[in-house]
Every structure is written in structure tokens, then in C-alpha cells.
Structure 1
Amino acid sequence: MVDPVSLPVKRVSAARILVSSGLGLLFDAFDVGILSYVLVVLAKQWHLTHTVTGLVGSVSSLGMAVGSALAGLFADRFGRRSLFLVTILIYSLATGLSAFAAGIGIFFVLRFFVGLGLGGELPVATTYVLESSPDEVRARRVVFLESFWAVGSLAAALVSYFVIPASGWRAVFLIGAIPALYTIVLRFALPEAARYARLQRRSTFGESVRNIWSRKLARRSLVSSVVWFVMNYSYYGMFLWLPSVLYDKGYSLVHSLGYSLIMTLAQIPGYMTAAWLVERWGRKRTLVAAMILTALSALAFGFAWNTASLIVFGLLLSFFMLAAFAGTYAFTVEQFPTMFRATGMGWAAGFGRFGSAIAPFATGWLLGAHLGYEWVFGVFFAVLFVGFVIVTALGKETKGAALD
């Protein structure tokens, strides 16, 4: 019997799903990216302390945690495709409304709703693409999906570099809302994920939660949750603060944005390298190798002594960080059976968002305490090293294994 996922028509549908879902992630990354640049301006304009600035990122991450968990449950119950419409609509509207925020209070509220949509869209998109792809390239397609994140980060850096100095921070939020709404049109032309469509019944909310923490899957759920916490803590703690760190080091706003843009360029080759390795080398091996190299790059960045070393170690940090995140998606989404996959992915990603909620605040506190960048990035090294040890010891390789 021929697997329907392998039929040519399904390959076409899988490509459409990949590109359409990738555009959604691109705008996700664009929104997260522009926030890091906007905060540099807002901190000065609204006279925000490091601690308050860090709380902005924390509120967004709390929204992501809630959105990831809820979207995973609803996607297993009602389907992958339909959840895209809801999540994209939420974060695109909230992003556009952020341009009209008059103070930090309403900005906090809007960032929560942005996070709610972003957090829901990410795990559902990953599940959607995996279940619509042929087995021999399923992990690679997942990484290709996540590579759109790097394009979105690059777009955020470019737009912020040219638009913020000329037109102000509100303009970039308006730009972020327009293309995100366009992806809603694309979703109406997409089919449901092939593997999900073949399920004879749908799981209930309670059944999904019980199963991902059953004796059979609890270890996978635990390892996946730890990985997502470590990766989110590291990524959001470092990259949300990167322009501000450079600004604090004495570089001008324009130079801070420019150097951040240069470092962002390394994200795309990081993703492409991971896309090749996950199929040739394995999901787990790719992840743990990228994690330890990210940890070492973070430590080196903290000890950077001049502009050249700052850029070199920043490029390495960006390259390995995004390769590790690509490995995280490919590793996690294959840990769970189809009936509960979105829930397992969503709950792991949701737990990880607590890391992204804590990290901006914790990093802001460390910077405010003037402990030195060696200590700040030494913390990231320690967190990544712990994650590396746990995945190495307890993680399960799924390369070549059947999804169900």
C-alpha cells in the first residue's frame, strides 16, 4: 500500500504547507526581533530601568507559554490548519495595536496577547509540517520551516536599522502587522496534515495531557521540556538584550543595530547546517553538539575584548544558537505519537517559555547589578551545559524510526 504522504500531489501540498507555515514563522521572528531593537529606544524615551525593560520580554513569554499549551491541545482536538488562523490573527492584531501604545502599562497588555498568538503558532506549525512530509525528509523539512525564523530575524534587523532612526519605533510595529495578516489568506487554500487526517478519532483534552505524562512518554516529555526551557532561556536572555548590551558597551544606537544585524546574518547558515545534519547525523547528535558549541560561544562573547572579537564570537554564538534551536524542533516533535503530538510539542514549548520569561528579567537584573558581562554570559554557559548533559544522558534518537 502506498503511503498517501508520499504521493506527488501530497508532495506539492507539503511544499505549500512548508512555505505558508514558514511565512508565519518569519513574521513571528520579525515581531520578536523588532522588540529587541524597540526596547533600546523605549528605555530611553520612557525612562525605563533595566529591570522594567526585562519585564517587557517576560510578559511576552508568559503569553507564549499559555498560547503554546492551549494551541497544542486544541490542535490535537480540532486540527492543525484551523489553529493557524486563530493564532496568526491574535498576534498580528496585537502587534499592530502596539504601535499606538501610550505607556508601558498598555504595552505590557498588548505584548501578552502578541505572545499568546506567537506561542500558539510555533508548535502547531512544526507539527503541521512534520505530519505533511515524507518520512525520508521529515526532519529536514522541519528545520527548513524553522529557517524562516532566521529570515524573519534578519528582516527585523534590517527594518529596525533603517526605519527606527528615520521614522521611530511605532512604524516597525505597523509594518509587522501587515504581512502577518496576509498569511491568513494562504491558510484557506491549505489541506489538513495527512497523518492527522487519517486518524480514526481525535483525542480529548484530558486524554492528551494524561498520555504525554504516561509511563511510556513521561521521560520524553520531561527531556523535551528541559530542552525547551534551556533554549528559550538562552536565546531570549541573550538576543533580546544584544542591542542593549552593545549600546551599554559604548557603541552608538546606529552601531549597536548595525553590529546586531551582522551577527544575525549567521543564523541562516546555522539553520542550513542543522538541516543537513539532522538527516545524516541524527536529531539528538545535532542538538547536543550545537548546544555545547553555543555554550562555549556564549562564554567567549562575555570575555570579548574589542570590536573584532565581539563580532566574531557574536557570529559564532548566532550560528550555533540557531542550529541548536533547529535541532530542538526536529528532536521534540518526533518524540510523540500523532494523536498527542501537538499537545506534547505545545506543552514542552510552553514550559520552555517560562525560561524566556525569566531570562530577560534575570539578565536585566544582572546588568543592572553591574556584575560584568563575563558573569552574565557565564550564566548562559552554565544553563546550556546542564541542558547538554540531560539530553546526552536521557534523550532518545528518532532518526530512522517510525513516527507512530
Structure 2
Amino acid sequence: RKFGIVRRAPQAAPADAGSAAAHHRELTIALVITALSWSFVNFGLLLWLPSDLQDRGFSAEIASGIIASSALVALPTIMIAAFLYSRWSSKRTLIGTVLLTLAGLAGALLPAPTLAWPPLLIAVIALLVVGTNGLIAVLLPYAAENYALRVRGRATGLIAGSSKFGGVAVQLGAFAGLIPTMGGAAIALIVPMTLSAVLIGRAGRETRGRSLRELETTA
């Protein structure tokens, strides 16, 4: 008492505790799928992009310029994502970044003659860069805010590890000569990315403005 250290009264379980506990495994699956999908987009599709653009007939200089222009458009993404995460909605911000990435993947499926128009190509690549940058900026904080202390390290470690898995898998695939086109990679990734958005929407909880102590009452 002398130093202001007093016992806190136990915090009551929140109203959605039962629902959150029932969907916890589903949320873990959703976040792992999201992390895996992100890893293949970031370490695969975007990594192969320069060679794919050259295969489409762009010179190395033009291909580099298109990627640089897209990255410049996406530069403030992380700050915007952080602002929306803290001021608007953590769950909706995460879903929004997944949907942006999905929009970029859908754009990559456009016919090659249509996608050859530089402004459209820059817009598609910018969507991918914006979506992936924003996604990784909010994915791990959101994961940490959904697990009680006794499992938080393992859960966030699993999701963080999943976000690196694509880098290893892509390198092994490259050694084996398995390098798909941008469209081929988009086809493979659009289904799991869509599934992750649906599962987060179903099983995720809003964490903005809520105390982490709530998680301990439902552990």
C-alpha cells in the first residue's frame, strides 16, 4: 500500500467469452492460413515479379521502374494500417488488408494483353504491395491480442513461423526449377487467401480498446 501496489479485483469474463473460446481453434487455423498465404505472396509472387515482367516483354529497366513506382505508391501503407488498427477496428483492418491482397491477386489473373498496359500493371502490383505490407503489419499484433498469456508465445510463434515458411518453400521450388508465372501463383493463392478472410470474419474478435486481462479470465 505504501508504494501504491494494491491487489486488483478479478475481472469478469466478457460477454463474448463463450463464443471466443468456441472459435479459438478456428481462429488459429485462420491466422496460420493467412500467414502462410502472405509468405507465398511476399517471398514468391513478388520475388518472381521482375523475371515475369521481363517474360511479358518489358525490359529490365522498365520492369524495375514499374516495381519501384508501385512500391512508392505503397510506402505509407504501414502507417495507415497502424492508424486504422488502433483508431478504427483491429479485426476489420486485418480483413481489409487481406481483401486488398486478394484484389491484387485477382488483378494478376487479367489477360496478359490487358495487364500489359503500364498504369493497370502498376495498380495491380501496388495493390499486392499495399496489401502484403499492411497485412504483416497487423497480423502478429492481432494474433498476440487473441491468446492468453500461457499460450501466447507458442501461438504467435506458430503464426510468425508460418509467415516465413513460404520463403523456404519458394527457394526449394526454385532449386527444383518450379517457378510459376504471376498468374499461376495468383491462381494457387487466391483460394487460401479468400478462406482466411472468411475464417477471420467468422472466428475473429474485435480487440481494439479491450484489455488483455480479459483473455486470462477465459483461459
- TM-score scaled to structure 2, two decimals? 0.72
What stretches of structure 1 of length at least 5 have no aligned partner? 3-213
1:327 to 138, 145, 160: 138
Supply the distance in 2 between the matched residues of 1:228 and 1:309 (Cα, whole angstroms).
27
Q: Do the aligned residues in 2 keep the contact of 1:290 with 1:320 (CA within 8 Å)?
A: yes
Q: Who is 1:381 aligned against?
A: 190
Q: Do the aligned residues in 1 keep the contact of 2:94 with 2:139 (CA within 8 Å)?
A: yes
What stretches of structure 2 of length at least 5 have no aligned partner? 6-20, 214-219
For CA contacts below 8 A with separation 6 or more, give which structure has more relative contact order.
2
Question: Structure 2 counterpart of 1:337, which letter?
Answer: A
What pairs up with 1:236-251 in 2 under 5 angstroms? Answer: 236-251=43-58
Q: Do the aligned residues in 1 keep the contact of 2:44 with 2:167 (CA within 8 Å)?
A: yes
What pairs up with 1:333-348 in 2 under 5 angstroms? Answer: 333-348=144-159
Alignment pair present for 1:352 and 2:159 = no
Supply the distance in 2 between the matched residues of 1:377 and 1:312 (Cα, whole angstroms).
15
Query: Cα distance, 1:305 vs. partner?
Result: 3.0
2:106 to 299, 308, 314: 299
Q: Do the aligned residues in 2 keep the contact of 1:227 with 1:391 (CA within 8 Å)?
A: no
Q: Pick closer, same or farther for the CA change 1:310–1:216 going to 2, 3 Å.
A: closer
Q: Do the aligned residues in 2 keep the contact of 1:225 with 1:347 (CA within 8 Å)?
A: yes
Supply the distance in 2 between the matched residues of 1:396 and 1:318 (Cα, whole angstroms).
26
What pairs up with 1:5-404 in 2 under 5 angstroms? Answer: 218-303=25-110, 304-359=115-170, 361=173, 365=178, 367=180, 373-404=182-213
Query: Cα distance, 1:286 vs. partner?
Result: 0.5
Q: Pick closer, same or farther for the CA change 1:374–1:340 going to 2, 3 Å.
A: closer
Q: Pick closer, same or farther for the CA change 1:239–1:374 going to 2, 3 Å.
A: closer
Q: Tell me the C-alpha RMSD between the 2 structures.
A: 2.8
Q: Pick closer, same or farther for the CA change 1:387–1:220 going to 2, 3 Å.
A: closer
Q: Do the aligned residues in 2 keep the contact of 1:283 with 1:331 (CA within 8 Å)?
A: yes
User: Identical aligned pairs, as a percentage?
Assistant: 24
Q: Do the aligned residues in 2 keep the contact of 1:288 with 1:388 (CA within 8 Å)?
A: yes
Q: Pick closer, same or farther for the CA change 1:283–1:240 going to 2, 3 Å.
A: same
Supply the distance in 2 between the matched residues of 1:222 and 1:331 (Cα, whole angstroms).
14
Supply the distance in 2 between the matched residues of 1:255 and 1:376 (Cα, whole angstroms).
22
Question: Structure 2 counterpart of 1:326, which letter?
Answer: A
Structure showing the higher helix proportion among its residues: 1
Q: Pick closer, same or farther for the CA change 1:341–1:268 going to 2, 3 Å.
A: farther
What do residues 263-298 of structure 1 show as CA deviations (whole Å, max 9, x unaligned)? Answer: 222332221221111112221110112212211222
Aligned to 1:299, what secondary structure does the other structure show?
Answer: helix
Q: Do the aligned residues in 1 keep the contact of 2:33 with 2:193 (CA within 8 Å)?
A: no
Q: Do the aligned residues in 1 keep the contact of 2:33 with 2:192 (CA within 8 Å)?
A: no
Query: Cα distance, 1:340 vs. partner?
Result: 4.1
Q: Pick closer, same or farther for the CA change 1:383–1:217 going to 2, 3 Å.
A: closer
